[in-house]
Every structure is written in structure tokens, then in C-alpha cells.
Structure 1
């Protein structure tokens, strides 16, 4: 394949440095928006009543889990992290779904996760595409088993190569119907920074698959995630305002900055985990698909972004992570988050 290229030197005309051609320069728009260490929405103090509920619920859930999963790697109110293989731990969690002896229900209200993409990362075991799909189908079925009847499952996936058929095949094409869950819709996560390419278009999106267990009965708190940035907020039709006073529905295309690296552009919330999604995007998911004191699960916890978002919104997080160094990193990150919450509360 021949690629048409035009040689451009520093001494020649550089369209990207011209206000006539580059809107970023013409409008003064910063090309990169770094994520914050923690979004402000996760630093809000809880009421005394909610604090008491969370503490009681945490103790009961931890006690029930201990009977079937053993002692967690790390546990603090609202945040329980286990080290181990996700399929094994999910199997044990299925046994603990209802502990008759203790009387504590530990069924999952919401699962938010991003599994390995089978693209050769250091934390992955290489598999064929067929093996990978079968493995995902297995653990997704396990998630279904531990999910409440009105629960939800949000799955973040990227791309992989299907030998002989496609280079950048969306994993969502391979997995969307590989579990008993009902696929409600696909959400496109659009971001600015990413991998560059010369022989194809630079990839700048990933997918979130929004599943429910019951297509007619599930939690969806739209008012909690409405976008107040409405272009024409005072527009009326027949004398009535067209838009909800809280804002518009965010739609199924979400634009959140990716966790980035590099001088002067590294995300403040970045950890050493190579596949970290931003807190802001999982915050929206947790707000939309769960309620306070409910259980949020991530069977591939990694840097525990889902755990921090869940705990920051008054949910009970259960996370599984295979590697001990990531567990240690996640525990340290959660403690830093808790310190940030205390500081924000003291500052009013």
C-alpha cells in the first residue's frame, strides 16, 4: 500500500502552527485537559445517618465474605479488596451470595469493570481469540449469577486483532452476546489523547457496554447524571422550557479525558497501572446505575478507580485483583483518597 505524504520542513509552511488553519490556536483552546486527582463529586461529606448505614453494612458484608472468600487483602469502610484469580473469587462469591447463617445479602447491585484486552500487556496471559471469548463468556456468566435481579453490568473494552480478518476489531463485537445479560446499549467513550498511527486512523475511542439483568426493571438515576451544559437553556416550545431544569441527558457518546502521561500533560490521578480509566467516567456510571449503601463489584480491579468512585459515593465496593503489586498500589491510592476527603471536609 502506498501512502501519499507531503514533505514539510520547519522552514516551510506549517498549517498546524497557523491560526488560519488551527482552531486551537485561533480560539485559545488548550489541546489537553488533565484529569484531577479526585473529582469534586467524590469528596462530598456524607450525612451522619449515611455514615452509620455504611459502617454497619460494611461490617456485615465483610463478615459474610470472610466465611467464603477468606480474609481480604485490604478493607476499610466502603472498600473491600481481595487478591486472587477473578474466576475463583467469583465462584466463592456465588456461594456467599446469601449467607443464611449470618443473614446478610451480598448480591451485587452493579458491576463496573475492564478486563484484559488480550493485546500483550504485561499482566495478561496470551490466548487465541476463541480462547479469549470463551474465557470472557465464563466470567461474565459468573457475574450474572451474583447480580441482583434488577442489577446492572457495565463493561469497558477496546480493540484486538483477529488474525487474518481484522486489525482493530472492537472487542464489543465479539462479546456483546456472550453472557445471559441483556444489552441495553453501547456507550462510546471519546477522548483526545491516544496511540498515533500512520497507516490507519488514530484510535480515539473505547466502548462501554451497558447491560441489565432485567430489561424492564433496573436502576437508572438519570437526574443524578444530567449535563447542565445546555446550549440553549431558555428555549421554549408552546410557552414551556424544552429542557429539563437539571440539564440534558448526556447521550451515548461521552467525552472524558483519558489518563495521560508526558511532560506538562500527565494526569494528576495517574498511577503506575498501564490500563487505568478516569474516575470521572466511572463516577457517572456508579451514580446512574446504583444507589447509596449498595454493592459495586469490579472483578478486574487494577488501580481500583471503580472502588474509589463507589466509596466516594457511599456504596460498598468489592474488588478482585490478581497481582499483589497492584493491590498494594490500590490500597495506597484509596488511603490517599480518604485523606483528600478528610481535607475537603475540614475546608468546608
Structure 2
């Protein structure tokens, strides 16, 4: 087997190699209280675990379910289903998670363009759908007889009309090309040694996200890993310090890790023991490095600006 480059930070250890991390995971076989699961990775099938969790303990739900595609998750294969069966599957996990949400909770669900049609319709039946975010993946395979698929959706919904949304926490810093001045002073922008910038309100189209790659500390061998920067936007906007964030399809732990870095509590559920191991390793790493690529001094920077290339800070939170 080809030896990995010293600069390659991809986490790709086996359960045996990372046994000290896997041992930190828990299993839930009967009803539990919050203290049993807070800041834990639960190894198990979410459809079996969710009914055993406390009612109305979740402030923010972030879900990245298997898209309706043929996919091999390190030995656990997801088989593409008919649209009817995928809808049934979606309704099942939604119905199991709804009792866990506080009346003030917010929900974000990740999907590709095709599963988005099904997931969105289910959410509209059961929750208050507020928006659909589309974010640009700068990676992806080309297609010879179709448009390259370079976008994914994130549905934003709430349990009620009483919910958290911290606009100031998710402003985007953009370069000002033609700065406007009044009496010689900047108006609605600031002058810095790195350039002229304005903090603007985010829209529901995000083109500033970088997919994790081999030289980034957050990168794992998970086939559908989401970037910490993407999760940071959701967590900062729709939760407050010490709130509880639940991810019932935890994968390699990006939601839990980002929640920890941003001062929130987390609960993650994952049925693959390898991914549970990676998640716990990343959670340990977060104790030494709280940086989030592209998020510096309380501001989200555009992709490929200076701030995304330097050591990041959590100051300004």
C-alpha cells in the first residue's frame, strides 16, 4: 500500500488502530436521560436509538441523511430506493425525531437536488419551512450528457414561529471593489491592511464553502463529509452558547466537532463503528485546535481570501 504523504492529514484509521477513541462512544439500549448522552457519540442505528432519547431536549437539529444514491459507507451500503420508499424512509426518521425537539428548535436537513424534492415536501407537511439554502460544491465529477452537479441543498425549518436566528453571527466579509466615501471616510465598509471589506447579510446561496481536502486537519476518508464552515453557519445562526445540537446521522462527526468548537453541547448518532472512531478522534483534536477554516475573528470570509489561508481564531464569538 502506498505510504501517505506527511502533509496528508486525512483521518483514515481502523477501529483497532483507534480503539481508545471508539471506547469513548456509548450505546443506548433503553430509555436515557440527558446526562447520559450529552456530549457523546452514540454507536447505533438512529431509527432504533431516537425513540429512547428524552423528549424536547434538542435546541438545534442538523440532519445529513443518506441521499437516495448507491453509496458504500465503508462496508455499509445504502441502496437507491424508489421515490415512494425513500419518502417512507424520510417520514420515519422525521417522525422519530420530532418528539425530541424543543418548541423553539430549528432544523436543517442536507440533501442533493433529487432527494431535496422529497425531503422538502415531507418537511412542509410537518414543520414550518423557512427557506432552502443552496451551497456550491467546488468539486464534483463532470457529466458527458448532463450538467455537472455542483450544488447541494440545506432545508431550514422550525418547530414554531418562536426560534433563534443570530444574524450578526453569520455576516460574510466581502471585498469592496469600488468603496464609497462620505466626507472622505468609509461608508458601510472598513479599511484594513489586507484590503477594503464590508460585512454583509448572507443570502440563501452560499459560494464561499471549501470542501475538505487531504491537507486540511478536518479531512477524513468519509465519502460525503460536510465542511466545518458549512456547519458553523448553521450552528451560529440557529443556536446559542450551551444549547444542545443533535445529529442523528453523525458520519465522521463534523456537526459534533463544530458544535464543540463553538461552545455548544452535542449528541451524535452513527451506526458505523469506523466513523464513530473518527468522530471521537476529531473531538479530541478540537480540544487543542478550535479553528474553523474560513471563519476568523467572528466573521465568515469569502473562499480563497487571506483569512482562509492563515491560522484561524475563535475570537469574536
Could you tell me the TM-score, scaled by structure 2's length? 0.71
Q: Distance in 2 between matches of 1:71 and 1:125?
A: 31
- 1:340: how far off? 2.4
2:47 equivalent among 84, 87, 92: 87
Structure 2 CA distance, aligned partners of 1:241 and 1:277? 36
Aligned partners of 2:78 and 2:186: how far apart in 1?
A: 58
Distance 1:185 1:71, change over 3 A: closer
Corresponding residue to 2:201 among 246, 249, 256: 249
| Greater Cα radius of gyration, structure 1 or 2 | 1
SS state at 1:137 partner: helix
1:213 paired with 2:159, answer: yes
User: What is the aligned partner in structure 1 of residue 121 from structure 2?
Assistant: 177
Misfit runs of 4+, over 3 Å: 69-72, 232-237, 239-246
Q: Are the structure 2 counterparts of residues 257 and 329 from structure 1 closer, same or farther at C-alpha, using a change threshold of 3 Å?
A: same
Deviation at 1:129, TM superposition (A): 2.2
Query: What's 1:192 paired with?
Result: 138
**Structure 1 residue 337: Cα displacement:** 2.1
Structure 2: stretches of 5+ with no match in the other structure: 1-8, 11-27, 191-196, 292-310
Q: Which runs of 5+ in 1 are unaligned?
A: 1-35, 38-64, 98-105, 160-169
Contact between 2:132 and 2:204, CA under 8 Å: does it hold in 1? yes
1:49 maps to none
User: How far did residue 217 of structure 1 move?
Assistant: 1.5
Per-residue CA deviation, residues 237-268 of structure 1 (Å, 9 max, x unaligned), is 9x99567997211111112012346xxxx544
SS class of match (2:90): helix
Structure 2 SS opposite 1:91 = helix
CA distance in 2, matches of 1:273, 1:209: 22
Preserved CA contact (<8 Å) 1:81 1:318: yes
- Number of the residue aligned with 2:64: 114
Partner of 1:68 in structure 2? Answer: 31
Residues 269, 139 of structure 1: CA spacing in aligned structure 2 closer, same or farther, 3 A cutoff? same
Query: How high is the TM-score relative to the length of structure 1?
Result: 0.65
Instruction: Give 1:336 deviation, angstroms.
Output: 1.9
Partner residue of 1:139 out of 93, 115, 118: 93
Give the direction of change, closer, same or farther, for the CA distance of 1:246–1:220 in structure 2 (3 Å limit).
Answer: farther
Match of 1:259 in 2: 212
Q: CA RMSD in A?
A: 3.4
**What's 1:293 paired with?**
242
**In the superposition, relative to structure 1, how do residues 312 and 233 fare at CA in structure 2: closer, same or farther (>3 Å)?**
farther
Q: 1:199 to 1:80 in 2, by over 3 A?
A: same
Aligned residue pair count: 256
1:109–1:152 CA contact under 8 A, matched in 2: yes
